[in-house]
Structure 1
Amino acid sequence: MALKATIFKADLDISDMDRGYYASHSLTLARHPSETDERMMLRLAVFALHASERLAFTKGLIADDEPELWQKNYGDEIELWIDLGEPDEKRLKKACARADRVWLYCYGGRAADVWWQGMQSKISRLENLTVISIPPDTLAQLTTLTQRGMQLQATIQDGQLWLAGPAHSVLVEGEVWQGDAERR
């Protein structure tokens, strides 16, 4: 018998002062059995950073040809492709060919650093790719906000995301490894 995804609900109020985007989103996140709370909460934080009316979660881990999140225009063309982890060069090149902008959020501490050392020169020519590294301690703090039903506020100013739950808030800030983090 196959394990089923665990469903999480999040009511997310976003105040993005950098982009002038203010909205509330009622989100349903399916956490795959192989996915950790850290990764799921990073997906939620990344949604807050790039939020729009057309940004959507995809099939994620179970679909090789889709990112974690994407934003399509009304002609079904991919404007924004957002992935998590340490994908191979072929996947990143394909994403950059399919989408106007590609964002990759790496996590995993030392493993991500090793991945970047081997990948940096191979993908440096991909001009529409932005790569951000999220520190392990940030992921650990994000998991403290995890609940099956979440009420969260996201405040974004000067490139910093503060994600707040009922008890505390977490600063989600990564290191830019490639690209222009200002072009969200």
Structure 2
Amino acid sequence: MALKATIHKAQLQVADMDRHVYGEHNLTIARQPSETDERMMIRILAFALNVPADEMRGKLELSKGLTDVDEPELWQRDLTGHILHWIDLGQPDDRRLLKAHGRAEHVSVYGYSYSTAIWWAGIEAKLTRAPRLSVWQIPSEQSLALAKFAQRSMQLQVTVQDGGIYVSSSADSLEITPIALKLASE
């Protein structure tokens, strides 16, 4: 018998002063048995960093992710189903990213493993024709520290200011400094 997903709930307060995006979001996360705390928390972080100021062009959603290879971890779709923003985690291959680039207005990747720089060095040249792609590295020691925030029920505050990210809960706080490996040129 297959193991079922574990449901996690996160009350997320976002104050992104760089983009002027503020709001509260209640997330229900279906964490698959193969997903680590670290990966789940990076999904929540990616949500906080990309949530739109309003839902006029569609809302950002957690997708089926690990259970459906044709979907990203998060995406923003408009009311017609057109993909505005495709967000992947980890180290997807160049074919997946180019396919996503053809389907979406913008593609973002958040790598969080110590080997992200090695992965990126191996595929960077293959992605020169993807101007709408942004690739970020979350330093592995910071992503591992973020994993310690994982609970079945979470209340998190994410503040973004001058490129720095501050995550806090009632018990702890953490500063995250993402590294831009590639920024979209549009």
User: Is this a same-fold pair by TM over 0.5?
Assistant: yes
Whether the aligned pair in 1 keeps the contact of 2:131 and 2:184 (CA below 8 Å) is no
The TM-score, its normalising length taken from structure 2, stands at: 0.93
Identity of aligned residues (%): 46
Aligned length: 181
List runs of 5+ in structure 2 lacking aligned partners.
Answer: none
Q: CA RMSD in A?
A: 1.4
Matches within 5 A, 1:1-184: 1-52=1-52, 53=55, 54-110=59-115, 112-180=116-184
SS at match of 1:137: helix
SS at match of 1:121: helix
SS at match of 2:11: strand
The Cα of 1:123 is off from its aligned counterpart by 0.7
For 2:98 and 2:14, how far apart are their aligned partners in 1? Answer: 31
The Cα of 1:173 is off from its aligned counterpart by 2.2
Instruction: Kindly report structure 1 stretches of 4+ aligned residues shifted beyond 6 Å.
Output: none
The Cα of 1:75 is off from its aligned counterpart by 2.1
Q: Which amino acid aligns with 1:77?
A: H
Q: Which amino acid aligns with 2:84?
A: E
Whether the aligned pair in 2 keeps the contact of 1:79 and 1:100 (CA below 8 Å) is yes
List runs of 5+ in structure 1 lacking aligned partners.
Answer: none
For 1:17 and 1:78, how far apart are their aligned partners in 2? Answer: 25
The Cα of 1:180 is off from its aligned counterpart by 4.3
Superimposed CA distance per residue, residues 149-177 of structure 1 (whole angstroms, 9 cap, x where no aligned partner)? 00111111112221110012112221111
Q: Which amino acid aligns with 1:7?
A: I
SS at match of 1:161: strand
